[in-house]
Structure 1
Amino acid sequence: MRQLLQRLNNNSLYVIISLLIFGKGLGFCLNRKFFFYPPQFAWLMNNVFLDYSMMIAGIGLLVYVCLPSNNNFVLGVLLAIITVLLAIITCIEIEHVIFAGEIEFVQNAISNSAIIGFILWTARHYSKR
């Protein structure tokens, strides 16, 4: 138990990223009433596969941090999946701002871009062990 707590403490940035992406996925999954533009693509943008993928990626990163193994390839793949999922959400939000005039999505797009930057910085500069 002590080693697990030490791993979680040493990899706190990865824990934050995993909880953040899991929380975003859970939020999207629980809140199914979104405005979609164009409406004919609502089925694509309101896809539960994206929500579940975000939650699974968050859980996967948290499990990886808890394991005693050290494989930078697996860590890189998990961080890449999380970054791609956030980039998809950011592109959808920017599309809503530009074409539908939903100005309240600007803040979401900027915060998601900042999170993507944080993940890329963490992947580049933060040592796993």
Structure 2
Amino acid sequence: MLHRKLNLHHQVKNNILYLIISALIFSKGLGFYLNRRFFFYPPQFAWLMNNVYLDYGMMLAGVVLFLYVCSRYSNNRVLGILLALITAMLAIITCIEIEHVIFAGEIEFVQNAISNTAIIGFILWTARHYSKR
């Protein structure tokens, strides 16, 4: 039992960046799920932009990445697929926010788009320089 705890502690310590990414994507998905009142432009695509499946997907990706990091299984291809999926979801949200800024004049989305872009950069940097060992 003590050996398992030490093993888990070692894995968490070595893969803290992936745990931060999983917490970020889970919290973003949860935030979008809990805040259902958004401004949508163009209004005819509100059903697409307010899709709960994207919110669930973000939360699920965060949980799966967390479980993967805490497991003994180590495959950089699986890790790369998870990080690519998370990056793609964040890129979709960033594009929607930039579209709102440009075409709808919602200037408050600039900060969200910049923070999402910084998170995407952090994920890409982490994927390039770290591997789960």
1:127 Cα deviation from its structure 2 partner = 2.7
> What per-residue deviation string (whole Å, max 9, x for no partner) do you get for residues 40-97 of structure 1?
1100000001000000000010000011111001000000000000000000000000
Larger Rg: 2
Q: Secondary structure at the match of 2:74?
A: coil
- Structure 2 counterpart of 1:51, which letter? D
TM-score, normalising length from structure 2? 0.95
Quote the sequence identity (%): 76
Number of residue-to-residue matches in the alignment: 129
1:9 Cα deviation from its structure 2 partner = 1.0
Query: What's the RMSD between the two structures over aligned residues?
Result: 0.6
Unpaired segments of 5 or more residues in structure 1? none
2:81 to 77, 84, 95: 77
Which structure 1 residue ranges, 4+ long, deviate > 3 Å from structure 2? none
Q: Secondary structure at the match of 2:11?
A: helix
The yes-or-no answer on 1:50 pairing with 2:54 is yes
TM-score, normalising length from structure 1? 0.98
